[in-house]
Amino acid sequence: MIIKKQVYRADKKVNPLIGILLFFISILLFVFTVPFGFVYALFYKLFKRGLTGIGEYALKIAISVDQLGNVTMQHLLNALWIKDGGYYFGNRDETISSAIGRNKKLGTLTIFGRAIDKLLDIIDPNHSLNSIDYYIEPTERIIDKLAWIHLVEGKILSTRSNGKTKYYIPGGKRELGESDSLTLVREIKEELSVDIKVPSLEFIGIFEAQADGHKPGILVRMTCYAAQYHGQLAPDSEIEEMVWLTYNDRDMVSAVDQLIFDFLYHKGDLIN
């Protein structure tokens, strides 16, 4: 069984006045209840697990504070730490370090952003890159997609859609409420006329890159699985061509697929 964080669902729109009211209520609750809860938790963790328990508790608080900072300071950080076309701060589910890491990969940190990144690296080498959270809720700046990795004799199955010039690893976008397996079953059936065997799903990895055909700073997050299938492979729907590519064909695929090609090649699964 594949267990992952629940699929993100967009928030319902609320009246701004309700948002302001809830903000003040949350501040009052924080001021009057958090100190008692914090002191109780310290003694509870100390009694149950000693200093190790306190350390684990402190780390959880640090991450939560970091996420709060990513929301409250988002506009300032977006103005000072990233260039135009960078990945925005502000996702409530993400830490500041994770957003820095994404911009570091895109090369969109400003002088200030790079200075903060270097400071973090002194404390913890490769801190921002290691902090990238690939399980955060998708936003308008992260396109959430699934991909089926199917290799035969060192070559990877790829497709080309009608009117497109680049090839893509089969798969597609998740629909509202869909699990990974449901998305893959639906997309692969639509594109290649075969049925994925859900019990055979094997998680490969998660890869991110600039999304093709979108403005800078819009990322595509590709969650990849290998799996067996029923049926006869054949292009369907909007798919014009089905091919088997090698690592030498890397320049023919999208930016995120290039990362997947690199990963598979270095593993020895994809031939030249």
- The pTM of this model reads 0.77
**In residues, how long is the chain?**
272
Neighbours of 64 (CB within 10 A): 11
In whole angstroms, what is the distance from residue 236 CA to residue 197 CA?
A: 19
| Ranges of H-type helices in the chain | 16-72, 74-80, 96-106, 111-123, 127-131, 180-192, 255-267
Facing residues of 230 across strands?
A: 195
pLDDT at 3: 38
What share of the chain has pLDDT > 90, as a percent?
Answer: 76
- pLDDT above 80 (res 13): no
Domains of the chain as residue ranges with CATH: 16-131 (no CATH), 142-267 (3.90.79.10)
Helix pair 111-123, 96-106: axis angle to 10 deg? 120
- How many CA atoms, within 13 angstroms, populate the side-chain half-sphere of residue 128? 22
Cβ(91)–Cβ(219) below 8 Å: no
Provide mean pLDDT across the span 243-256: 97
Render pLDDT for 25-84 as a digit per residue (tens, 0 to 9). 888 888 888 899 999 999 999 999 999 999 999 988 988 999 999 999 999 999 999 999
- Strands, E assignment, 107-228: 142-148, 151-152, 155-161, 171-173, 195-196, 202-210, 219-226
Phi, psi of 241 (to 5 degrees): -150, 140
Give the strands of the sheet with 155-161, arranged side by side. 151-152, 155-161, 239-245
Band (10; pLDDT cuts 50, 70, 90): very low
